[in-house]
Amino acid sequence: MIAAARGGYDLSHDLTTGGPVRDLVFVIVGIVVLLAFIVAARLIAHLAGQQLLKRHVRGDMVVLGRRVVTALVIVIGVFAALGFAVENANVPLFGLLLATVVAALGVQDLLRDYVSGYYVLLERHIRVGDRVSFDGDEGLITDVRLRVTLLRNDQGDVVVVPNSELFTKSVTIRARGEATTAPPT
């Protein structure tokens, strides 16, 4: 019906005022952007896999790392492509906000362990060589790391304790091997 109008169809007017051709151009640009992100995802995943292999990471973790990187880049590409297709910058911003919230919820426990580990190392209430009783486990502290504390029980098993657990549950330190004196009476 537009093409049958007097004087024919004005393509330049359609592109500048927002007609169906302009909409189609933005949808095509969105598809091209998505395809570019898919290609980039494969390239970035390959590079990430090479870096993991250089660091002698297990093969199954390399595959998992590649898949996570690929999925992350493609999800970013989907939001970027939708932003172009609907001509709205709010779509990619919403995608970034959603990704930030998901990431924050996903690493919440990990961050809690690291912050707790910082305080464990700073305050030095628990040290290597201490014999502790903790949540039904008892053993000798063999290593205090930033995220976890390792203790070896009487059977020789190593128990990995997240440092955040040291702050939420009570820990009994049996003996430090230091000489103690009785308070004066």
Residue 118 in contact with residue 87, Cβ under 8 Å?
A: no
Residue 161 in contact with residue 134, Cβ under 8 Å?
A: yes
Burial of 136 by CB count in 10 Å (0-12 exposed, 13-18 middle, 19+ buried)?
Answer: exposed
Measured in residues, the chain has a length of: 185
Q: Which of 44-48, 55-59, 63-67 has the lowest mean pLDDT?
A: 55-59
Nearest to 176 by CA among 144, 129, 120: 129
Confidence of residue 93 (pLDDT cuts 50, 70, 90): confident
Q: Which of 117-121, 141-145, 162-166 has the lowest mean pLDDT?
A: 117-121
Nearest to 21 by CA among 32, 33, 10, 36: 10
The predicted model gives 123-142 an average pLDDT of 86
The predicted model gives 2-30 an average pLDDT of 62
Q: Which residue has the higher pLDDT, 166 or 139?
A: 139
Quick one: pLDDT at residue 5? 53
Residue 161 in contact with residue 181, Cβ under 8 Å?
A: no
Residue 174 in contact with residue 132, Cβ under 8 Å?
A: yes
Residue 167 in contact with residue 125, Cβ under 8 Å?
A: no
Confidence of residue 6 (pLDDT cuts 50, 70, 90): low
Q: Helix, strand, coil proportions of the chain in percent (round to 5)?
A: 60, 15, 25
